[in-house]
Structure 1
Amino acid sequence: MNAPPRKRNIATSATSNNLELTNSDITPSENPASAIIDVSAVEVPELTEQEQSDRLHLERRVERAFFEAGKALAELRDRRLYRSTHKTFEEYCKDRFSYTYRHVNYLIAGSVIVDNIKMGTNSSQNEQVEEMGTNSSQILPTSEVQVRPLAKLEPQQQQQAWQRAVKQAGGKVPSGRLVKDVVQTIMERTRVPNTYQIGEVCQILVKDNPDLRGKGGCWCIVSYVREFSCTVRTWDGELTVGLKHLKSFNYLPAECQQVQEICDRISQVYSTELEESVQRFLESLGKLKRAYLTDLEEKVLSLLESEIQG
């Protein structure tokens, strides 16, 4: 009886030969699982001194981006460099940068806060720091989101809160969430009782709060008192204001009553669709720093009241 052909052995042998050719770089070993493969090492060249300098410069430019934007926007606004093409700064920012007015205010307020932080981290307030991060121990914000929670604090508290957040972040730039938590802790420890009373007349202080845009310097009447804020009434509606954004006029009860009556009268006229110039006049009455109207103001307001009633 003839033996069957040894095809399986021949195939196995061929396969073995192929493995020997293909894996010529594998060190022979009794256990294939422990085979050693030689891999050529790739050497990564070190940065030259110029490259290291360029990298540091570019990193600082990235870190300064929002800060520089806020400083530039503030100068554009203060010098009214938009006036040749736009009537208002708000329209200019929307057309030129596609920025909402709130975002612009956040950037400007953020740049002010960074200046406060820089002043606190310098060894001397007279020391000029030309570039952010020139001091190795000076960790500064790299995003507007990181400084936004600090707007609720006074400048000195902003410095302390930022340094505490940097420490909790292990000496690195902290996240906006971490900064917010630190700010909340400080506010809880420095809680100030709300001493305002319903009917009290106060002045609204913006203090870099974009939500109070257009209300800076306006008088308001407290209508509801909370732990950290008050609901106040102005000539064109109600809004909630934090305690640090209010300043009492310290009017007598009779004077507060006079202001409330003036507020009612202005609100009634303001709610009607009158000319823009008339609305501007009414808004100017909303910024009076006295509890009465002059004779001329009284005559104009009475004329407007008779006009809408007729």
Structure 2
Amino acid sequence: MPKPPSRQNKATSATSNNSTSAASSANKDISQQEDPGSATITVTAVEVPELTEQEQSDRLHLERKVERAFFEAGKALSELRDGLRPAVGDRKLYRSTHKTFEEYCKQRFGYTRIAASYKIAAATVMDNLLTNGLQKEEIATDELQTPKMLTNGLQILPNNERQVRPLVSLEPEVQREAWQKAVEEAGGKVPSGRIVKDVVQRTIERTRVPNTYQLGEVCQILAKDNPELRGKGGCWGIVNHVGEFSCTVTTWDGEYTVRIAHLKPLNYLPAECQQMQLISDRINRLRDNENLEEAARAVLKHLGELKRPYLTAVEEKLLSVIEQEYGVNEGNEPIAHS
């Protein structure tokens, strides 16, 4: 009797046929694929719409507002301190709430005296760059008319205070030259504060003059928008140390180390220098008194700004009265009060 066919063999055969067919199909697919190195990848592009003219205008306007933020801050601080027209006299817009501008800046904005002065000085430098070479255009804003800072060809504007601060110590004409040199070194772009500082330092070294001041000489301080010398412009001082590029001078209210660019020789005769030294000694003995009243301090400040090497009769009497009141005389000996 014939043996029935085995089901197991049928199943194996079917499985074998299916595997062979799948392998054949896979081989066929692989053989039809391109070299992966030359395969084309399809990327769906997302279209970015171009800015409209209005959007371009808005962007430029906002960028300029960011760039001139430090400039506007310095200008505003200057007006708060001096008014819109400084020549007319200080308006002191802070006077209703604060006695001094320094106190006002500290409490209202968190600025120290030096920080506020640097912002004002930086705005002065920016004004110089705008007025002499960089263009200025008036544009309307929501609140006021403000200068729109532009670039003209290769002329690039500073956009933060760090780039401007090193220029403060230079004369206005030299500021413009130094800034353009910094722009060149930055490849025609806005230079960093470090680049500007390096250029300014090289400029100072190139133009520095020898220090000819002598010990005991009387000279006058020139503030020249140097924030650290604010309030000292016009004061005379006695040179007590001569450095390579600066002098330490004794003034009516203390000692200051000042670069020779900020000093002016008064060319007094030796005898006149000795007379001014005596006056300086008398003022200095008084200024250290903790109980010195404002009226007495005002007299000392006046004497510290003299433009002559002597005291008038009235000035001598005033100084003598203050010395007597606070127990000091010209010989630095206490005066006994009855």
What TM bracket, shorter-length normalisation? 0.7 to 0.9
Q: Structure 2: which amino acid aligns with 1:88? A: T
Cα offset, 1:105, TM superposition: 0.7
Which of 72, 78, 81 is the matching residue for 1:77?
81
Secondary structure of the structure 2 residue equivalent to 1:103? helix
Matches within 5 A, 1:18-167: 29=33, 37-79=41-83, 80-122=92-134, 129-130=137-138, 131-133=148-150, 135-167=152-184
Residue 227 of structure 1 pairs with residue 239 of structure 2? no
Residue 251 of structure 1 pairs with residue 268 of structure 2? yes
Distance in 1, matches of 2:153 and 2:97, equals: 43
Distance in 1, matches of 2:136 and 2:157, equals: 15
Task: Note the alpha carbon deviations across 1:66-106, whole angstroms, 9 max, x for none.
Answer: 11111111111112111222221112212222211111111
Cα offset, 1:138, TM superposition: 3.0
Tell me if the contact between 2:221 and 2:237 (Cα under 8 Å) persists in the aligned partners: yes
Which of 296, 303, 323 is the matching residue for 1:285?
303
Tell me if the contact between 2:136 and 2:149 (Cα under 8 Å) persists in the aligned partners: no
Residue 306 of structure 1 pairs with residue 310 of structure 2? no
Cα offset, 1:33, TM superposition: 7.7
Distance in 2, matches of 1:47 and 1:128, equals: 25
Q: Structure 1: which amino acid aligns with 2:109? A: F
Q: Which residue of the partner structure matches residue 25 of structure 1?
A: none
Q: Which residue of the partner structure matches residue 3 of structure 2?
A: none
Please say which of residues 234-243 and 63-72 is displaced more in the overlay: 234-243
Tell me if the contact between 1:113 and 1:150 (Cα under 8 Å) persists in the aligned partners: yes
Q: TM-score, normalised by structure 2?
A: 0.78
Tell me if the contact between 2:155 and 2:180 (Cα under 8 Å) persists in the aligned partners: no
Tell me if the contact between 1:235 and 1:264 (Cα under 8 Å) persists in the aligned partners: no
Task: Note the alpha carbon deviations across 1:196-232, whole angstroms, 9 max, x for none.
Answer: 1111101111111111133221110111112211111
Q: TM-score, normalised by structure 1?
A: 0.85
Instruction: Give the 4+ runs in structure 1 shifted more than 4 A.
Output: 30-37
Residue 181 of structure 1 pairs with residue 193 of structure 2? no
Distance in 1, matches of 2:231 and 2:34, equals: 84
Secondary structure of the structure 1 residue equivalent to 2:184? helix
Cα offset, 1:191, TM superposition: 2.0
Secondary structure of the structure 2 residue equivalent to 1:297? helix
Distance in 2, matches of 1:46 and 1:209, equals: 47
Distance in 2, matches of 1:62 and 1:157, equals: 26
Q: Compare CA radii of gyration and give the structure with the larger one.
A: 2
Cα offset, 1:177, TM superposition: 0.5
Secondary structure of the structure 2 residue equivalent to 1:121? coil
Distance in 1, matches of 2:207 and 2:129, equals: 20
Tell me if the contact between 1:146 and 1:174 (Cα under 8 Å) persists in the aligned partners: yes
Secondary structure of the structure 1 residue equivalent to 2:248? strand
Distance in 1, matches of 2:151 and 2:254, equals: 48
Cα offset, 1:136, TM superposition: 4.5
Identity among equivalent positions (%) equals: 65
Secondary structure of the structure 1 residue equivalent to 2:68? helix
Q: CA RMSD in A?
A: 2.5
Count of residues in Structure 1 that have an aligned counterpart in Structure 2:
286
Tell me if the contact between 1:259 and 1:292 (Cα under 8 Å) persists in the aligned partners: yes
**Structure 2 portions without partners, runs of 5+:** 1-7, 27-31, 84-91, 139-147, 328-333
Cα offset, 1:304, TM superposition: 2.4
